[in-house]
Structures are given as C-alpha cells and as structure tokens.
Structure 1
Amino acid sequence: MAPLCPPRGVYTPVVAFFHENETLDLEALKAHITRLAKSGVAGLVIQGSNGEAPHLLHSERQEVIAVASAVLKEHGKRDAVIIAGCGAQSTRETIQLCKEAQEAGADFALILSPSYWTGAMQKPAIQKFFLDVADVSPIPILLYNFPSVTPGIDLDSDTIAILGSSHANIVGCKLTCGNLGKLHRIAHDARITSPFATFAGKSDFFLHGLVGGSNGVIAAAANLVPKIHVKLLQYYDEGKLKEAGDLQTKLSDADWQLFLLGVAGLKAALQRYYGYGGGRSRRPLGLVESSRFEGKIETILKSVVDLEDSL
C-alpha cells in the first residue's frame, strides 16, 4: 500500500527515450531504470517535464509507467514510489490521466497548473482546478509549480498551503521555481496538519532546500548522477555539512551545464557516459550532437560522472 505522501528522499524525473523514427525506445528506458533502481533513489517521476509528457500519447504514458513499475519490481524495489505527471489543460483530461496512471502502477500524480488560457487562470480558478481533480483522482496529487512552462503562473506559498490544508488528497508539491523562501514557508506552515511533502525541484538548491525543511528533491540531474544526490542527503542527515556542501557545489555546476544542453542534451549525456539513450527528443526539440560536449561542459560533467562511478 502506498504511503500517505511520498517518503523523504531523492526522486529522479525519468527522461523519455526515442528511436530515430520517434517511437519509444523501451530498451533504453529499461536500462536507465535498472541503473536508477540500483542507485538508492526513493522513487521515480514519470512524465515530468524531463519525461516530455506533452509529446506522449495517453497510451504511451501508461506504457512507460508500466515498464518502470515492472523494472523496479524486477530489482526488488517494490517500495520505490512512482509519481506520474498528469497535468493537462482541462480538468476532465487531468482526471483521466490520473486514473490511467493509477491503472498503470503509479502511486501519486504530479500536476501542473493549466495555463493555455493564462489570463483566466487567477487564484480562484487554479484552486478550484486542483480541488476538483483531488476530489476524483484515485491517487493522491502533488502540485507542480514551474512558471517557465506555465507562462509565468507561479503558485505562491499561501495558495499551496491553503490547498494542502483543505484536501486530504493533496499531499505535496514540487517547486521548480527555485524560491527557497516559499519552500521554507510551506514546509513549516502550521495550517498544513496532514502529511505533506515539499520537494525542491532542481539539483542546484538541493542542500538549501533540506535546510529549509524540504522532503528531498526531484531533480533532472539525478538521471545522470543519482548516487551523488543520495550521498548528499546522507551527509546532511549525518550532520556532515562541509561534505554535503562540497557535493552541492559539484551538483550546482553540473546542473547548470545540463540546463544549457536542454532536455535532449541530458539524454546525450547518458549516451556519452553510460552508453544508452541517444540525444534525441520528439520534434520540435530534435537532437543534441555529441560535439556539444567539449571544454567546460565536458570537464564538469565528466568530473561528476567519475565521482558517481566511484560511489
């Protein structure tokens, strides 16, 4: 039985892999999740932003969730949590995605604010959207705040705290906005009395989020170097702040280089350093060539990969 909210830890927002003809590359996916299953992460986020959810059909979303669940079980990771991206522009489709995710094996749903009609998405409309979804979703939901992909819509701490305190099926949030003050306020908001997991949404403020009371991190760079993330959390819990800070510096540098490469570039890095996945996304994102890995990018990424491989 799934926990009331995602357990504390490191979560990898799994990238989507494609063949040259843009069909899903499930063999690369299996290889990737096998490596993640052995790394000590607490769970996976399937069809987050790095999973290219807008590029997938409903049936493909279910297929990827089912494959991830099967691989985790194959490697004895039955307690590993699967959070599925279920955001859509309508309440109706969002609820449908939540139901399909649950059927495919997901434990939780991660949901962006609808944003196509940005001007109409004022606080009352957004709050009603999340409450309507929470009323019907068969799995608990987490609020996903990522203003860059929701034309500037930025959930503030009061909105998140109100939602988290008013519905038992709203059990957490992912803050890719990078607002550490917001994270701290939510993590310590007295209005939220039921279990609620507040996650940092990027590697470059992982340690800072832990200090602020986060439940861990959901971080793209954990696709490339999951063990380093797990080690940083271990150091923090052991009170080894100098060691945790040193790892944070490495992760911050690597996270920035991966950001510059983009979503397809992260997969190109997996191909370069671990031999699977390619650097391909569905169009219009396209392909990242290996020639992009030179100079500073290569130096920084190779350094963290070498450290990862030593752990």
Structure 2
Amino acid sequence: MSKLTEDAKGVYVIAVTPFTENGALDLESVDRMVDFYEEAGATGLTILGQLGEAPKLTAEESRLVAERVLKRTDGRLPVVVGVSAPGLAAMRELSETVMGLGAAGVMVAPPWTLKTDDQIFAYYANVAEALGDTPFVLQDYPLTTNVTIAPKVIERIINEVETCVMLKHEDWPGLSKIGALRRSSDAGNTRRISILCGNGGLFLPEEIARGADGAMTGFCYPEMLVGVVREYAAGNPERAHDIFDAYLPLARYEQQQGVGLACRKYVLAKRGVIASPTLRKPGAALSPEDTADVERLLARQTRRLSEIAV
C-alpha cells in the first residue's frame, strides 16, 4: 500500500472495534465491518481511534486488529492507524508494527500536558523524529485533549515537519481555522496538506465549503459522509445538503458524550455489520428509552430518504 500523502481526500471512516458480548475481540465482525465500509464507498479507513476504544485494548490486541483490517483490505483501501500514546517509545513501536503490516500512515493526538505553542510544536517535532519517514495525521480535537492548537502553530508544524501530511480537524467551532489554513496555503505561505474533518460529520457541508478535503470520522450510516463529499465534488452543494439534512437528527444523537458510541454500535449491529453492540467496560449502554429514541429517528430517516430519492 502506498503511503499517505498531502493529496488525500474523500472519506476515511473511523472504524469501531467489535467485541463479543463478554468483551473479547470479535475478529469475524472486523471482516464484515471492513467489507461494509468499502461497499459504502469509503476512500480509506482509520482504526484504533478514540471511538475505536483504542485505550481499552492491550498492545497485542491493537496489533491483532490492525493485522486483521489490513489483511481484509488487501491494499484496496489506505488504512490509517491511531498510535497516540503517553510515550514516544510505545508510539514508535506500534507505528513500526502497523507500517510493516501495510498501513498507509498513523494518527497522533497531543497529550493533555501541552500548554504553550512552543510545547505543541516541540512535541510534533519529536513525534516526527521518533517515527522517521512514517507519514502522520495531526489530530486536532481540543474537546477531548484539552489542547488548543492555533492556526499559526499548525502552519509552523506544516512548514517544519515534512511527515505531517494531514490535519484531522475536530475543533468546534472551527470553521474559521480551516479558512485560515487554506488562505495560508493558497498564498504560498505554507505547504498545502490534506484536511479531513471529524465530529461525526456534524459540520461536514460547511467544512467542505471552507476548503476541507473530506471526512475522517465515524457514523453508523457512512453513506451520508460519502454522499455529501461526492455531491460537493460533483458541484452539487444543494444535493449534498439535502442528503446531510436527512441524516442529521441521527448524527446529532450519535454525538452525545458517553452514549453516542453505544448508539453507533447499536445501529451497526442492527444493520448486521457487527455481531454485538457491546462496548468494552467501562462503557455505556443504551437504556430502553435511548433505544426508543434511536428507533424513532431511524424510522423518520427512512421516510425522509425516500422523499428525496436517496
């Protein structure tokens, strides 16, 4: 598989990690999940992210999941692997393992201990040194990392750290950040890198309009992400918004802290993608009232999709 580059675009779906009802890895569901995302039109996959429950996996389990996904994709889709870790040694070890298995690149979020612009830059310079020629995605998700990265700091990283080839943009609100970065690269002040956006796709149409290249996020209906990106690329923004609007109520529900991932896994299990909606402990589960909410949203979504002929 070719390595990740600054030209990456489309939809890199953040994959869940399937577990059996007793919390063991469900590798058979991994195969079905990969097939499902590919058939839905995903450009690539991102595994072992926060919503892939990566912190709950052992090092060996992380290797097993990466190996299984990469074997199933068999080079057809680029795979980015989350390798964020408290220390650079563990990050380097997992990166070397997954790149050896055929991954296209890795994703690194900043640790919460970073407080200043200089500390943030120094951290990613150290990451690049530790990872060698492995291309990496800078995950900018201050809502969970508590690290705010200003556009000028991202620009410095882009200009001085060659192996940073993508920004996973999850600032919120953050549309102005995308605009600032694109103006900088358009003016020739910075290298143009790929920008893919997260947050469950809640702002995807607006993010693409500001210059994002697509999405790197999860949603139990990846068809929405693919449809919005496809229609924008084809010059049909109104159609993109129609598709987005039809799925928005469920996407909004799925973005709740805690219960959101349980909602995503519930729907994926209902769709036959994974065998069980189980989250590894500690993890939330849907209450009967939550389940009723989701079922109501699914029914309304089905009706709306029929109305707009999707």
**Secondary structure of the corresponding residue to residue 198 of structure 1:** strand
Q: Which deviates more from structure 2 when the two are superposed, residues 268-277 or residues 103-112?
A: 268-277
Q: Which deviates further from its counterpart, 269-278 or 127-136?
A: 269-278
SS at match of 2:184: coil
Q: For residue 96 of structure 1, what is the aligned residue in structure 2?
A: 93
Q: Which amino acid aligns with 2:104?
A: D
Equivalent pair of 1:31/1:276 in contact (CA under 8 Å): yes
1:15-53 Cα distance to aligned partner (Å, 9 max, x none): 011112221111111111111111211100001111111
2:129 matched to which residue of 1? 135
Does residue 237 of structure 1 match 2:233?
Answer: yes
Aligned residue pairs: how many?
299
Q: Which moved more, 1:23-32 or 1:242-251?
A: 242-251
Match of residue 181 from structure 1: 176
Gap regions ≥5 residues in structure 1: none
SS in 2 for 1:199: strand
Using the TM superposition, give the Cα deviation of residue 265 of structure 1 relative to its aligned residue in structure 2, in angstroms.
2.3
Contact residue 205 and residue 252 of structure 1 kept, 8 A: no
Q: Please tell me the root mean square deviation across aligned C-alpha atoms, in Å.
A: 2.2
- Equivalent residue in structure 2 for 1:274, among 272, 275, 283: 272
SS at 1:174's partner residue?
strand
Corresponding position of 2:72: 71
Distance 1:62 1:207 in 2: 35
Task: Say if 1:39 and 1:226, in contact at 8 Å, map to a contact too.
Answer: yes
Instruction: State the match for 2:193 in structure 1.
Output: 196
Alpha-carbon contact 2:182-2:192 (below 8 Å) kept: no
Q: Are the counterparts in 1 of residues 170 and 198 from structure 2 also a CA contact under 8 Å?
A: yes
Question: 2:63 aligns to what?
Answer: 62
Q: TM-score, normalised by structure 1?
A: 0.88
| Structure 1 segments (4+ residues) deviating >6 Å | none
Pair 1:207–1:30, CA change in 2 (3 A): same
> How many Å apart are 1:225 and its aligned residue?
1.4
Spell out, residue by residue over 1:230-279, the C-alpha distance to the aligned partner (whole angstroms, 9 max, x if none).
Answer: 12222112222221111122333221111233222211111123363422
> After the TM superposition, which residues 115-126 of structure 1 pair with which residues of structure 2 at under 5 Å, given as runs?
115=112, 118=113, 121-126=115-120
1:303, 1:11 → 2: CA distance?
A: 27
1:19 aligns with 2:26: no
CA distance in 1, matches of 2:94, 2:167: 18
- Matched residue type, 1:214: A
Letter in 2 for 1:262: G
What are the residue-to-residue correspondences of 1:251-266 with 2, within 5 Å? 251-260=247-256, 261-266=259-264
Is the 1:147–1:177 Cα contact (8 Å) retained in structure 2? Answer: yes
What TM-score does the superposition give when structure 2 sets the normalisation length?
Answer: 0.88
User: How many Å separate the matches in 1 of 2:247 and 2:140?
Assistant: 22
Change (3 A) 1:113 1:101: same
Letter in 1 for 2:194: A
What is the CA distance between 1:289 and its match in structure 2?
5.2
Q: Are the equivalent residues in 2 in contact too, given 1:14–1:46 (CA < 8 A)? A: yes
Indicate the residue corresponding to 1:42 in structure 2. Answer: 43
Matched, 1:154 2:151: no
Aligned to 2:6: 5
Query: How much has 1:303 moved relative to structure 2?
Result: 4.5
Q: Percent identity?
A: 21
| Matched letter for residue 132 of structure 1 | N
Shift of 1:6: 5.8
- Give, in angstroms, the shift of residue 97 of structure 1: 2.5
- Listed one character per residue, the Cα deviations across residues 93-129 of structure 1 (whole Å, up to 9, x for unaligned) are 22223222212321111111012xx3x5422222111
